[in-house]
Structure 1
Amino acid sequence: MGKRASSPVGERPAAKSAVAPAQTERAAAEQDGMGEFEDQWEDEFEDDEEAGEVVDAAENEDGEDGEMEVDEQEQRPASPKPYLPGTKLEEGEFLAPDLSTYPLLHSFVPTWPSLSFDILRDNDGEERRGYPVSCALVAGTQAGDPTANEVTVMRWEGLGKTRRDPEESDGEDSDDDDTEDDPVLTFRAIPHKGGVNRIRARPLGNPLSQGPPLPPDPYHVATFSETGKVHIFDIAPHLNSLLSPATASASLSKTPLHTVDNHGRAEGFALDWSKPSGSSTSHRLLSGDIYSKIYLTTLSPSSITTSPKPFSSHTDSVEDIQWSPQEATVFASCSADRSIRVWDIRMKERKSAIGVAGAHSSDVNVISWNLSTQYLLASGGDEGGIKVWDLRNFKGTSAPAPTPVVHFSWHTAPITSIEWHPTDESCLAAAGADDQVTLWDLSVEEDEDERPTGPDADRLRDVPAQLLFCHQGQSDVKEVHWHPQIPGTVVSTAADGFNIFKSLPFSS
């Protein structure tokens, strides 16, 4: 497989085993179980031996009640330094999360790595802010055993609110519907030939409260296999069997609805469904391969057809594709040839209309089209850069490259995923091969009066003001998505499993 292949498939890394922002702690890393939810942090506050003895202030040396004696000579220990990504950990150290910054934090380790996933519409409504949390996902595996690959439709339930202290009792800030029950995972598996490079579910129309399609209406999911095939599945019966077990059909298909063979044996990573358009009953799917070809597949109520003539302006691997959220015939693509191109499927010559050559200094790995401001496009490069472009400045690719609206160089390894917030036009999430998931707000302006001071000023001066949150603890992060029905909630997948979390900056 290409450059996004997992680290040794099916094996868990033995090092960093939790999440940041964090303090650095010394402990032995433990091997986690496979194929179940974990609470990696439930015992964090139970072992106080390393931090020193805990003394009850209302108890004297004889164990009797009394007044606390204060030693004026005793100095309060210095606060631990905040951990910055890229700081070398000493032997025996690992990252532990600051749970006060996570209203929600759970992890799940599947049997095989799922390096691509998508969030499915469920029937629990929109703008969900209470606890416990539930969600539905579809993922594709990259198994060590080629015959074991599958498309997995999952339902996660009972994801409770993060508690800083296991002994914390329900206070006035607790949610009435919070629960101590363990999370529950149910799933349906569909066999898949070859590892899944990319998987995407067809976007559904609004409102989000409408729920997913019910059989016999289809809910389409497409996969790009490492074999070069693009498979289209109908997962409506599988999802319905998880959401409504009592009404589910006993017949669940184990084969694709359709397979696109036009790519031959050329695998790919670029895959995207068109957004719903008016009253149209047709759906469009774009797939781009490592040999620079992009094919268009159209699904109508009666047929599925793929145009034999590809879009072919790129000169190297097509890494990502995004349909315009506003214009039904327009899409953008990025490539290992370092360019970003914008196309219109109505152009008979199948060439890009506008674009920018040299958009990044290395391969352009991922792009995301802003859902609210249609002329903004974000991109992530192999050099670790994040850029935001104003498409109104794009000309022909032979013209001088325009200046990006925003350029961040925080990540130190290739950007593997980028996605705009579904409703906030200034916020985006990104993931990198440096084991970071970063959350940004581009509307934040740096204030000189709020710059770091004191002993940590030099360490913190290079942290961008727009960087609101940095999530760590996963190894080789591949994709990140905002959950459109649970405000502020992010799901990420990596070689060592899934994380679902909500950070304080997005908890309102």
Structure 2
Amino acid sequence: MPKRQAEDEKAAGPLKGGERPDAMDVDDKDNDMGEFEDEFEDEFSEEEIIEAGVDGRPDTEREAEEMEVDSAAPETFIVGRTKLEPGQTLVPDASTYRMLHHLSTPWPCLSFDIIRDGLGDNRSVYPVTMYTVAGTQADSARANDNSIMVMKFSGLSKMQGGGDDSDSDTESSDDDDEDDDPILEHKSIPLTSTTNRIRAHQTPSQDSSKPPITLVATMTESSNVLIHDITPHLTSFDTPGTVITPQQNKPVCTIRAHKVEGYGIDWSPLHPAGKLLTGDCEGIIYMTTRTDGGGFVTDTRPFVGHQGSVEEIQWSPSEASVFASASTDGTVRVWDIRSKARKPAITMKISDVDVNVMSWSRLTTHLLASGDDAGVWSVWDLRQWKPGAAGAAGAASSVGKPTPIASFNFHKEQITSVEWHPTDDSIVAVSAGDNTVTLWDLSVELDDEESKDTGGVQDVPPQLLFVHYQNLAKEVHWHPQIPGVLVATGEEFSVFRTISV
């Protein structure tokens, strides 16, 4: 966990050693000093002699001073419980990370996505390289400074001493890499509006010898949804001399169906050509499909049912016609795109406040995680959600709230992102407005006896694995090809891997 470090500007520096005294000018032949007399001789009996340490002081006195120094060492910071004193700041405990890097952009990028690359799956060799795409949030007075940033992070090295010996056969033997600074390269696509949410999708190229086409959908503050082909931007990083033309910076499609801005957006993982859902602040959801010719068509019949803003949309990872949406009306609704009525099949009231985010497990597809405005995140078993007559009409399909299979009220501010681990359905990453990213292991359970040995820390669930400090934390994503590596964004980007995952 992060630790807090007191900054003491008045701390004294190390004592300076004095000069060696000049040797005494003594003539051995004519020594008038006489015999040296010990004035302390026989003052203590042999049994009463006090042993002194290396600095000449009694051991008990020196040990007491060492204990005082130890008590001033950095202590564990517990989110929502520990308060920073004046002059104290949070610093990460480097010994808990395998890798930790911070990368800054000209403006904060509060939404981003990770791009799959051709460097291989399950890679663990350091330094690490990855590709991402993000949308900026420039100052309101400088809206024309906004852009989509297509980025390459490289030189992401392992921390000195990070990890364990079991990794040594797969990691770089070049220790010099560990001291290098990471490199951020980027290509900018100009925008005139802030990005609310951005998501990427890769579709196979018609030429099998070429890399997949990478499409990016951006929900902007202007209410327009922009789709860009960023394939040439990605290619340019590894092809020296490549110049991006103004035409390549233009969107291949602009969706103008929404009347207001929105946040909910997702590409279907089961429609390779490209099928996109977008939801706005009036609760309206539209579907846009990529045609065989490479164009895009938006269905004019919206999905209607939410009584508040659509904050999140996620396609089912296993059923091509099913998606779920979360809203400020406190509900999660499950839809079937084959329905001519365009009404939700299931509606569940899961919170009394806004449901901001959710994540559908790709491994155990009946599990859905959600996060709300009160700082609560929960896990739901969709098999327990049954459609009813009321649900088909768009109202709540059950009396009262359903029961989550797990729920945590650890964070004290709104949940801003939640995402399942791509290969372990017991691990979840969560970011929140308390400037933290937390990692959770749902497989952990403690009985009553074990819970007594938690060090007396109250209200900290045993499932909590790790707390990472991220100022203005907004989104967190697991890298799908580099096990255990996360990227989080807020005031800046953090790329990290802990020793616990």
TM-score (structure 2 length as normaliser): 0.81
Instruction: Provide the C-alpha distance between the structure 2 equivalents of 1:310 and 1:131, rounded to a whole number of angstroms.
Output: 47
Structure-2 residue corresponding to 1:257: 252
Aligned partner of residue 271 in structure 1, secondary structure: strand
**Structure 1 residues 113 and 72 mapped into 2: Cα distance closer, same or farther (>3 Å)?**
same
**Structure 1 residues 452 and 92 mapped into 2: Cα distance closer, same or farther (>3 Å)?**
farther
Structure-2 residue corresponding to 1:479: 475
**Structure 1 residues 294 and 51 mapped into 2: Cα distance closer, same or farther (>3 Å)?**
farther
Aligned-residue offset at 1:177 = 3.8
Aligned-residue offset at 1:343 = 0.3
Instruction: Provide the C-alpha distance between the structure 1 equivalents of 2:171 and 2:481, rounded to a whole number of angstroms.
Output: 22
Structure-1 residue corresponding to 2:117: 122
Structure-2 residue corresponding to 1:273: 267
Mapping 1:52-451, distance limit 5 Å? 68=54, 71-73=58-60, 74-75=63-64, 76-77=66-67, 78-79=70-71, 80=73, 81-86=75-80, 87-144=82-139, 145-163=142-160, 175-178=172-175, 179=177, 180-202=179-201, 218-242=213-237, 244-246=238-240, 248=242, 251=245, 253-264=248-259, 266-277=260-271, 282-302=273-293, 303-357=295-349, 359-395=350-386, 396=391, 397-400=396-399, 401-451=401-451
Aligned partner of residue 147 in structure 1, secondary structure: helix
Instruction: Provide the C-alpha distance between the structure 2 equivalents of 1:333 and 1:53, rounded to a whole number of angstroms.
Output: 61
Instruction: Provide the C-alpha distance between the structure 1 equivalents of 2:78 and 2:12, rounded to a whole number of angstroms.
Output: 22
- Further displaced range: 228-237 or 69-78: 69-78
Q: 2:3 aligns with which of 5, 22, 36?
A: 22
Aligned-residue offset at 1:159 = 1.1
Amino acid at match of 1:272: D
**Structure 1 residues 221 and 250 mapped into 2: Cα distance closer, same or farther (>3 Å)?**
closer
Instruction: Provide the C-alpha distance between the structure 2 equivalents of 1:477 and 1:255, rounded to a whole number of angstroms.
Output: 30
Aligned partner of residue 238 in structure 1, secondary structure: helix
1:443 touches 1:466 (CA, 8 Å); kept in 2? yes
Aligned residue pairs total 437
**Structure 1 residues 213 and 330 mapped into 2: Cα distance closer, same or farther (>3 Å)?**
farther
Structure-2 residue corresponding to 1:10: none
Aligned-residue offset at 1:100 = 0.1
2:233 touches 2:244 (CA, 8 Å); kept in 1? no
Aligned-residue offset at 1:426 = 0.9
Instruction: Provide the C-alpha distance between the structure 2 equivalents of 1:147 and 1:222, rounded to a whole number of angstroms.
Output: 19
Deviations 1:325-375 (A, max 9, x none): 000110000000000000000000000001212x11200000100010110
Task: Judging by fraction of residues, say which structure has more helix.
Answer: 2
2:228 touches 2:249 (CA, 8 Å); kept in 1? no
1:193 touches 1:225 (CA, 8 Å); kept in 2? no
Aligned-residue offset at 1:123 = 2.2
Structure-2 residue corresponding to 1:7: none
**Structure 1 residues 438 and 371 mapped into 2: Cα distance closer, same or farther (>3 Å)?**
same
Aligned partner of residue 477 in structure 1, secondary structure: coil
Instruction: Provide the C-alpha distance between the structure 2 equivalents of 1:54 and 1:181, rounded to a whole number of angstroms.
Output: 34
Aligned-residue offset at 1:88 = 1.6
**Structure 1 residues 250 and 294 mapped into 2: Cα distance closer, same or farther (>3 Å)?**
closer
Instruction: Provide the C-alpha distance between the structure 2 equivalents of 1:221 and 1:162, rounded to a whole number of angstroms.
Output: 33
Aligned-residue offset at 1:309 = 1.0
Aligned-residue offset at 1:27 = 5.9
Unaligned residue ranges in structure 2 (runs of 5+):
22-52, 163-167
1:118 touches 1:200 (CA, 8 Å); kept in 2? yes
Deviations 1:429-466 (A, max 9, x none): 01000111010110111144433549x51xx1321011
Aligned-residue offset at 1:228 = 0.1
1:390 touches 1:405 (CA, 8 Å); kept in 2? yes
Amino acid at match of 1:21: P
2:202 touches 2:212 (CA, 8 Å); kept in 1? no
Aligned-residue offset at 1:282 = 2.9
Aligned-residue offset at 1:241 = 0.8
RMSD: 2.8
Deviations 1:181-232 (A, max 9, x none): 2211111110113000000001568xxxx9x998685210000000000000
Aligned partner of residue 202 in structure 1, secondary structure: strand
1:291 touches 1:316 (CA, 8 Å); kept in 2? yes
Amino acid at match of 2:334: V
**Structure 1 residues 174 and 53 mapped into 2: Cα distance closer, same or farther (>3 Å)?**
farther
2:224 touches 2:258 (CA, 8 Å); kept in 1? yes
Deviations 1:282-330 (A, max 9, x none): 3110000000000000012312100011100101100000000000110
Amino acid at match of 2:432: G
Q: Which structure ranks higher in relative contact order (CA pairs < 8 Å, sequence separation ≥ 6)?
A: 1
Amino acid at match of 2:220: S
**Structure 1 residues 328 and 27 mapped into 2: Cα distance closer, same or farther (>3 Å)?**
farther
Aligned-residue offset at 1:388 = 0.5
TM-score (structure 1 length as normaliser): 0.80
Deviations 1:60-104 (A, max 9, x none): x99xxxx95685212342454321112221111100111000110
1:319 touches 1:364 (CA, 8 Å); kept in 2? yes
Deviations 1:27-80 (A, max 9, x none): 68xxxxxxxxxxxxxxxxxxxx9598599xxxxx99xxxx95685212342454
